């Protein structure tokens, strides 16, 4: 185990631009034995072989780690997730560029090691196709999953350009394989011009709940999250966040941007609420394409903060004793 803070121990924090690149400067290991006792482990899934448009999400895990700041108390929630939880950066899954099946197998194996240690995996993508190995690894221990899915797109195509394993198809595949329970699956933030009637009919037939951006506008984000929490209910839940749920004006670094999306403050709050109210057993943040260094990359910066809200929500839930 490497603690990147060691050389700055007398100061209690290290400058963001120095030392080993780990999420929020947390301890780093690639040894599954050292996951013992961890509450959460961060895993990078640096792959983008299966995108339908602009690639570049392979660079996101490093960029999100580099955009972070030292740990600290969440001003609004009044808790320091990194003090309340044992968070470890478990490094990147050993993906192979140009071999998406091997990369998915590596991601499933690495996430599975986190799950086997009893920790919650938080996966930094990567394109959204990693949802399949991520959730398969989690469901292998917890059984069929509820799913809260923030995205501009449904990702429920049966194929994209005739390709069945794509960043546009993981949710179709996961429901068809019984890994995600359609009745406990809520999509939030949908808008734009894809998919078509065939996919939407399939969704209705499988009991999937779709909350569009029009719903977020008309109902408020508070009401949308209340409905989502009620629909997903008790039992294991996976949280999947596609950064393109945000408006491209606030998160421009993504491959299939769609105008008219959520604002950062709404999403940050919503992610914390979901993590506080539901029994999260895993999470992923996908589709970030960085183009700048450190916190100058606004999309990677928001991604870092989304993960912190998620960790804050998990910490609040455990503090409140509702983690049964």
- Rounded distance, CA 166 to CA 100, Å? 10
Q: Which spans of this chain sit near Mn ion (rule: CB under 5 A)?
A: 128, 151, 155, 242
> Using the 8-state DSSP alphabet, how is residue 94 labeled?
-
CB of 286 to Mn ion, least distance (A): 6
Closer residue to Mn ion, CB minimum distance, 242 or 247: 242
CB of 221 to Mn ion, least distance (A): 19
CB of 240 to Mn ion, least distance (A): 8
Closer residue to Mn ion, CB minimum distance, 64 or 85: 64
- Rounded distance, CA 311 to CA 305, Å? 10
- Rounded distance, CA 159 to CA 136, Å? 19
Alpha-carbon 143 to chain mean position = 19
Positive or negative, the CA dihedral 160, 164, 167, 169 is: positive
Closer residue to Mn ion, CB minimum distance, 87 or 262: 262
Q: Which residue is listed with tokens 């602009």?
A: 54
Closer residue to Mn ion, CB minimum distance, 25 or 170: 170
CB of 156 to Mn ion, least distance (A): 10
Say if residues 72 and 267 touch (Cβ distance below 8 Å): no
- What would the two tokens of residue 282 be? 């895993």
CB of 79 to Mn ion, least distance (A): 30
* Beta-bridge partner residues of 89: 28, 42
Closer residue to Mn ion, CB minimum distance, 57 or 312: 57
């Amino acid at each position: 185990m490497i603690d990147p803070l060691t050389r700055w121990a007398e100061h209690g924090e290290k400058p963001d631009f120095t030392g080993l690149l780990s999420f929020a400067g947390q301890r780093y290991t690639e040894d599954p034995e050292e996951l013992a006792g961890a509450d959460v482990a961060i895993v990078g899934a640096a792959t983008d072989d299966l995108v339908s448009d602009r690639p570049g999400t392979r660079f996101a895990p490093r960029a999100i780690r580099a955009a972070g700041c030292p740990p600290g108390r969440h001003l609004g929630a009044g808790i320091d997730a990194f003090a309340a939880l044992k968070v470890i950066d478990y490094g990147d899954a050993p993906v192979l560029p140009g071999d998406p099946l091997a990369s998915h197998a590596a991601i499933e194996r690495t996430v599975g090691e986190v799950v086997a240690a009893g920790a919650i995996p938080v996966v930094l993508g990567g394109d959204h196709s990693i949802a399949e190995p991520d959730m398969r690894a989690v469901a292998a221990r917890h059984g069929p999953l509820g799913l809260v899915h923030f995205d501009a797109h449904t990702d429920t195509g049966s194929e994209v350009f005739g390709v069945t394993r794509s960043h546009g198809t993981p949710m179709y595949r996961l429901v068809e394989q019984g890994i995600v329970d359609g009745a406990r699956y809520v999509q939030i933030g949908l808008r734009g011009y894809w998919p078509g009637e065939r996919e939407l009919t399939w969704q209705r037939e499988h009991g999937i709940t779709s909350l569009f951006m029009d719903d977020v506008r008309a109902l408020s984000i508070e009401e949308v999250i209340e409905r989502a929490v009620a629909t997903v209910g008790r039992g294991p839940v996976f949280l999947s966040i596609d950064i393109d749920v945000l408006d491209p004006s606030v998160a421009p670094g993504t491959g299939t941007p769609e105008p008219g999306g959520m604002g950062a403050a709404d999403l940050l709050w919503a992610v914390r609420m979901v993590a506080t109210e539901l029994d999260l057993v895993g999470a992923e943040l996908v589709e970030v394409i960085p183009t700048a260094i450190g916190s100058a990359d606004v999309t990677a910066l928001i991604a870092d903060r989304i993960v912190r809200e998620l960790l804050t929500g998990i910490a609040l839930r455990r503090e409140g004793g509702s983690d049964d």
